């Protein structure tokens, strides 16, 4: 099977850059959460600035790719699929930024007993993102490899689900916490878990697109 973009090299480069942005945003998210939990406020705010720049860059790249696909009438048979794919991947970067933004705005009090829970949850969600980006690269360049990496996305997504549930159970069974505080902690667990769900959404689309391409 041929690479999707064939001879359209600039498009191939832009898509690679767009995927790099997604990976970078997920790494900044991890660092940001770690800084937040350790009370490193200045570094955390730097992470937020960095992820905001990445998100803007991702938006610009997505729009450039979309414009090029339409104005130069490239890969008309797969254009709709590629557009939907890009928009779903962009949701991942947006979610990364959203999590750091919410931490910055709402400054939730996360006591040390929950730090590991949040970090591990974030790590698993980011693994789901890394795998789905790798699957997308396969879809664009080496479609035969895609099935193997899609399976990993589903694995890390279910791991993120499991860890999020464990964390929320621990929160709601901790005595001495106000119910409102428990809600706040649940909210952040949910939003980090959503990152893995967004990776899964991309994986579901990739699964169908890759079947369509193979026909």
Partner 1 sequence: MASIFDEDLALTKICGEFIDLTDDVNLVFCEAIKQYMCCQMNEYDNYIDQIRNLESKGDVIRRQTESRLYTEKLIPESRGDLLGLIETTDDIIDETKNTALLFSVEIPDIPLELRNEFVSLAKICTEAVNEVLVAFRIFFKSPESVKNLIQPVYDKEKLADKQAAKIKRLAFLDKNLPLSQKMHLRYLAHHVDCIADRAEDLADRLSIAAIKQTIKA
Q: Is 215 in the site for partner 1 (CB under 8 A)?
A: yes
Residue 118, SS3 per DSSP: helix
**Alpha carbon separation from 151 to 8, 20, 84 (Å, rounded):** 29, 21, 21
Rounded CA separation 194/203 (Å): 14
Compare residues 63 and 162 and give the one whose CB is closer to partner 1. 162
Compare residues 57 and 186 and give the one whose CB is closer to partner 1. 186
Q: Is 187 in the site for partner 1 (CB under 8 A)?
A: no
Q: Which stretch binds partner 1 (CB under 8 A): 44-52, 75-83, 89-97, 206-214?
A: 206-214
Q: Is 208 in the site for partner 1 (CB under 8 A)?
A: yes
CB contact at 8 A, 119 and 169: no
Q: What is the 3-state secondary structure (H, E, C) of 134-172?
A: HHHHHHHHCHHHHHHHHHHHHHHHHHHHHHHHHHHHHHH
Shortest Cβ distance from residue 168 to partner 1 (Å)? 5
CB contact at 8 A, 70 and 2: no
Q: Single out the residue of 125, 108, 136, 111 nearest to residue 21, CA to CA.
A: 136
Q: How many CB atoms lie within 10 A of CB 47?
A: 24
Compare residues 73 and 180 and give the one whose CB is closer to partner 1. 180
Compare residues 77 and 178 and give the one whose CB is closer to partner 1. 178
Shortest Cβ distance from residue 169 to partner 1 (Å)? 5
* Ranges within 153-182 binding partner 1 (CB under 8 A): 165, 168-169, 172-173, 178-180, 182
Q: Is 186 in the site for partner 1 (CB under 8 A)?
A: yes
Q: Is 198 in the site for partner 1 (CB under 8 A)?
A: no
- The DSSP letter of residue 5 is T
Give the number of residues in contact with partner 1, rule: CB under 8 A: 16
The footprint of partner 1 (CB under 8 A) covers: 165, 168-169, 172-173, 178-180, 182-183, 186, 207-208, 211-212, 215
């Amino acid at each position: 099977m041929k690479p999707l973009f064939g001879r359209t090299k600039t498009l191939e480069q832009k898509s690679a850059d767009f995927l790099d942005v997604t990976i970078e945003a997920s790494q900044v998210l991890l660092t940001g959460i770690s800084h937040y939990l350790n009370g490193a406020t200045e570094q955390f705010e730097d992470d937020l600035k960095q992820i905001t720049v990445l998100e803007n860059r991702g938006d610009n790249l997505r729009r450039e790719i979309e414009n090029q696909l339409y104005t130069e009438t490239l890969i008309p048979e797969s254009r709709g699929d590629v557009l939907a794919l890009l928009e779903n991947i962009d949701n991942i970067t947006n979610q990364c930024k959203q999590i750091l933004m919410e931490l910055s705005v709402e400054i939730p009090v996360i006591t040390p007993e929950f730090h590991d829970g949040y970090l591990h949850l974030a790590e698993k969600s980011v693994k789901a993102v890394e795998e789905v980006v790798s699957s997308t690269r396969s879809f664009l360049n080496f479609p035969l490899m895609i099935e193997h990496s899609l399976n990993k996305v589903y694995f890390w997504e279910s791991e993120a689900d499991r860890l999020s549930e464990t964390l929320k159970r621990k929160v709601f069974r901790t005595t001495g916490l106000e119910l409102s505080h428990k809600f706040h902690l649940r909210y952040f667990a949910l939003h980090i878990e959503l990152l893995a769900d967004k990776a899964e959404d991309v994986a579901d689309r990739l699964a169908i697109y890759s079947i369509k391409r193979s026909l």
